[in-house]
Amino acid sequence: MLKGEYGEGTQNAMELLVAIGEAFDAEKMIPVTRAHAASSGQEGDLYFVEMLARGGAFCKIPTTTNPIADFEYFQKVINIADEHEEASVAWKTKDYYRQIGAVMSWSCIPYLAENIPQFGEHVAFSESSATPYVNSVIGALTNRESIQTALAAGVIGETPEYGLHLKENRKGTVLVKVEANLKDGYSYSLLGQYVGKKVGYDIPVFVGIPKRPTIDQYINLCAMLNVTGAIPMFHILGVTVEAKTEQEAFAGNAPKDKITVTDHELRQTHEELQTATGAIDAVILGCPHYNLDQMAEVAKLLRGKKLRDGVSFWVNTSATTKLLAERAGHVSVIEESGAHVITDTCIDMFCWNNLREKTGMTDSPKCAYYRRFGPVKVGTVEECVAASVEKGE
């Protein structure tokens, strides 16, 4: 493959993986059985997938893709005529991913439906919530891949053996004592936001989390650990699959650092996220994409209510989840309030440019981090709904 005997695209993919392997002193390549490319539909993404596709490369293993943009939906509801240039980059990128045989999942939580690794499976997953989720919650083995290394692994079906593919690198290194009251999904986002910033590149072991987090709480924690930090894996003592005991979580080593998180740290983190005061113009939920439980929750909160004049309200999810939410009646309840359910779209895409000057609100610190709005408030989904609907409803 490296010599080009299987075509130029395959050669390019192999060259990248060999270079990464050499940089990390990997001794050999190992098979991976699935990949997730956090495709972004932006120039760097287009450059690499186009090079591989034009060189005749084709995915050897299931390789899912991140949300790009449902441009047609946006054209229907808002005027985005000025953004055609960015749309054309996104469109070309989508076409090359299709040509190369990737799965057009357009979801940033593929590990719940479209691409589910098993315990002990070696995979190559990029995307902020995806890498820590498959390592920590499922117990599959992946490094913190980039779009390009994940796609290259999808084409080759192998990856260099280094980092989290080796058992000895999966042990916890920092002890995080949780004394805060983790009462909802948003508090897990705050926990991830705070710990990611504090811990940086290490593997935290959480103690004191009283019960198993729900799926959306896990997703929020994973996403934020990998936004304010570069944390590809964590353990929750007594809960996650590779941390049944302290001995297993730390592999017998003493933690090199210890931190404590109380309600005070979470409150402070919440306050630091706020850059707006007063009334809001727009809400974005679903970064990471909402799962079915979250769709049910937002439908329950919006049932029988109407958005205030001038407020736009967007719920992002995957096509798979939307289908199930439609069948359950959640989508019609949400839409009756005046809100939109949008699939296949990332909040970091051109289609949201019209919100740049608006005062926004979101339940996602990651969405706030990507600055989709001017000033922003961040809070729970209940608070987002309460700030958007007509008074007295």
CA angle (384, 387, 391) in 5-degree steps: 140
Q: Which is nearer to ligand F3S, 250 or 352 (CB)?
A: 352
Q: Which is nearer to ligand F3S, 151 or 389 (CB)?
A: 151
- Total residue length of the chain: 393
How many angstroms separate the CA atoms of 356 and 349, rounded? 12
Q: Which is nearer to ligand F3S, 90 or 180 (CB)?
A: 90
- The 3-state DSSP class for residue 232 equals coil
Which letter does DSSP use for residue 136 in this model?
A: I
Least distance in Å: CB of 311 to ligand F3S?
21
Least distance in Å: CB of 298 to ligand F3S?
16
Q: Which is nearer to ligand F3S, 29 or 346 (CB)?
A: 346
Which letter does DSSP use for residue 378 in this model?
A: E
Least distance in Å: CB of 166 to ligand F3S?
28
Q: Which residues bind ligand F3S (CB under 6 A)?
A: 66-67, 108, 223, 287-289, 316, 346-348, 366, 370
How many angstroms separate the CA atoms of 251 and 326, rounded? 46
- Could you count the other beta carbons within 10 Å of the beta carbon of residue 16? 20
Name 258's bridge partners.
175
Least distance in Å: CB of 253 to ligand F3S?
33
Residue tagged 């075509």 (tokens): 7
Q: Which is nearer to ligand F3S, 93 or 316 (CB)?
A: 316
- The 3-state DSSP class for residue 332 equals helix
Least distance in Å: CB of 285 to ligand F3S?
10
Strand order in the sheet with 257-261: 235-236, 204-207, 174-178, 257-261
Judge contact between 91 and 49, C-beta under 8 A.
no
Least distance in Å: CB of 219 to ligand F3S?
9
Q: Which is nearer to ligand F3S, 69 or 174 (CB)?
A: 69
CA distances from 225 to 73, 230, 232, 246 (A): 32, 7, 8, 21
Q: Residues with Cβ < 8 Å from 49, sequence gap 6 or more?
A: 39, 93, 96, 97, 100, 151
Taking the chain, what is the end-to-end CA distance rounded to the nearest angstrom?
A: 63
Q: Which is nearer to ligand F3S, 345 or 359 (CB)?
A: 345
Rounded to 5 degrees, φ, ψ at 30 are -130, 155
Least distance in Å: CB of 135 to ligand F3S?
17
Q: Which is nearer to ligand F3S, 16 or 130 (CB)?
A: 130
Q: Residues with Cβ < 8 Å from 308, sequence gap 6 or more?
A: 388, 389, 390, 391
- The 3-state DSSP class for residue 184 equals coil
Residue tagged 């996650």 (tokens): 240
Q: Which is nearer to ligand F3S, 171 or 366 (CB)?
A: 366
Least distance in Å: CB of 287 to ligand F3S?
3
Least distance in Å: CB of 288 to ligand F3S?
4
Least distance in Å: CB of 108 to ligand F3S?
3
- Outline where DSSP puts E strands in 267-375: 282-290, 312-317, 340-343, 360-362
Q: Which is nearer to ligand F3S, 11 or 294 (CB)?
A: 294
Quick one: how far is CA 192 from the chain centroid?
13
Q: Residues with Cβ < 8 Å from 2, sequence gap 6 or more?
A: 11, 14, 15, 18
